[in-house]
Amino acid sequence: MAKITDDFLAVIGGLLELYGQQASTTKVNIYWSTLGQYPIDSLRRAANTWVRKSEFMPKPADLINLMGRSSNHLSPDEAWAIAILASDETNTVVWTNEIAKAWAQAEIVYKNGDKIGARRTFIEAYERLVNESMMSGRISEAFVSLGSDKAKRADAINHAVFTGLLTQEKANYYLPKPENTIAMLEFKDDQISAKSMEHIANIKQMLKTGRVCVTTI
């Protein structure tokens, strides 16, 4: 196990002092073993949030819960609203690994006609997966599962950008390219003028010999 850092001791020691609790090696080691892998800035923000709302010393799970909320994990209800879209293969779904894995378990129940049981199965699996991610310090990362209906793709992806689930940079990979870009890709060699071809030939010669032969286009 890595050595306890001074920054970590400052946060946990500050909480112990604020709540009038005596520090002990055992207590500090427990907090370190459960919280030490989280970014110190996230832990500090969680501690500050906690002291504003509670008069009791936080347990490690309390701080983990607060850090999980700030790590972009969706609530179970929000996650279910996304997962259920996957029941229709025409839909494009933007979801996280936790949502996709939880749906894989719930899908069997859903296909058997038990929608209520499927939701319950999903939420139990999703909460477990999110807790595992939080314990490992992983944040949620969204990805796109393309549906068969191309007309629905842009709406689903743009909605994910609007809600903050997907970055515009990632969205652009899946969205249709502008027409002028397509036109460039379809540009034929036989449309290049003779002078342009000569200019290209001169550039190639320059790269071979290191000397520039200037022509006027």
Across the strands, what pairs with 96? 142
Give the chain's mean pLDDT.
Answer: 81
pLDDT tens across 31-67, in order?
A: 999 898 888 888 888 898 899 888 999 999 889 888 7
Provide the 10 A C-beta neighbour count for residue 51: 15
Percent of the chain predicted with pLDDT > 70: 76
pLDDT tens across 111-143, in order?
A: 999 999 999 999 999 988 987 776 666 667 889
Q: Where are the domains of the chain?
A: 6-69, 76-176, 183-217
Sign, Cα dihedral of 186, 191, 193, 199: positive
Closest-CA residue to 141 (of 94, 78, 178): 94
pLDDT tens across 131-181, in order?
A: 777 666 666 788 999 999 988 999 999 988 888 888 888 888 888 765 544
First to last CA, the chain: 68
Residue type, 44: R
- pLDDT of amino acid 42: 82
| pTM given for the model | 0.54
**Is residue 166 packed enough to be buried (19+ CB in 10 Å), middle (13-18) or exposed (0-12)?**
buried
DSSP 143: E
- pLDDT of amino acid 181: 40
Mean pLDDT, to the nearest integer, of 96-120? Answer: 96
What whole-number distance in Å separates Cα of residue 103 and Cα of residue 116?
Answer: 13
Between 159 and 207, residue with greater pLDDT = 159
- The highest-level CATH class for domain 6-69 is mainly alpha
Residue 199 pLDDT greater than 70, yes or no: no
Closest-CA residue to 95 (of 151, 150, 135, 147): 147
Provide the 10 A C-beta neighbour count for residue 171: 19
Residue 187 pLDDT greater than 50, yes or no: no
